[in-house]
Structure 1
Amino acid sequence: MNQILLNGITIEQLAEALKPLLQPQATKESQQPENDLMTRKEVCTLLSINFTTLWKHTRSGKLLSSGIGNRVYYSRKQVLEAVKSINS
């Protein structure tokens, strides 16, 4: 069995020791380039919508898609620009 026993260390010290190991992974996810291409599934996840709603927005021209072969991609920058605040 693989066991690690920690004696004489507080939870705060353990959290501080693990912070450098966990931080690079979090920064990779948050530093997405704005111009990268996203699949339909990624756009649906980002906007919390389903494929039908994405298709309707693409058909109406609210979202612009690009195709490579039979694959459909969306520009992250354009998707984020298409999302507008209701209060403005």
Structure 2
Amino acid sequence: MPTLQFIATTPEQLKREITENVKLLFEDFKTNFQPRAAEEFLTRKRTAEILKINLSTLYLWTRKGLLKSYGIAGKVYYKRSEVEQALIEL
């Protein structure tokens, strides 16, 4: 059975140790933090303009599953990132 060992630490030493650890963690956070970019939603019209297609083609591509649409309050939107990913290299 393991024996318990106690480490004698004063409150000041403990405070200093915690402060140093928090500073190191904060510096690491500031160095490595990468905020997530907000997703841009495009209207049907803007999506068709970007792809240089008409709205009926956009509708067909969406029905075929080539593009995924999102809707709210009767409006249809497309995620820019997904539209760009749908383009394949020839």
Q: TM-score, normalised by structure 2?
A: 0.57
Structure-2 separation of matches of 1:47 and 1:73: 14
Larger radius of gyration between Structure 1 and Structure 2? 2
Shift of 1:34: 7.3
2:76 matched to 1:45? no
| Range with bigger deviation, 34-43 or 52-61 | 34-43
Identity %: 39
Report the counterpart of residue 4 of structure 2 in structure 1: none
Conserved? CA contact 1:44–1:54, under 8 Å: yes
Q: TM-score, normalised by structure 1?
A: 0.58
Structure-2 separation of matches of 1:36 and 1:47: 16
Structure-1 separation of matches of 2:62 and 2:81: 15
Report the counterpart of residue 35 of structure 1 in structure 2: 39
Shift of 1:85: 1.1
Structure-2 separation of matches of 1:62 and 1:85: 15
Q: CA RMSD in A?
A: 1.4
Structure-1 separation of matches of 2:64 and 2:44: 16
Aligned residues: 54
**Unaligned segments of structure 1, at least 5 residues:** 1-32
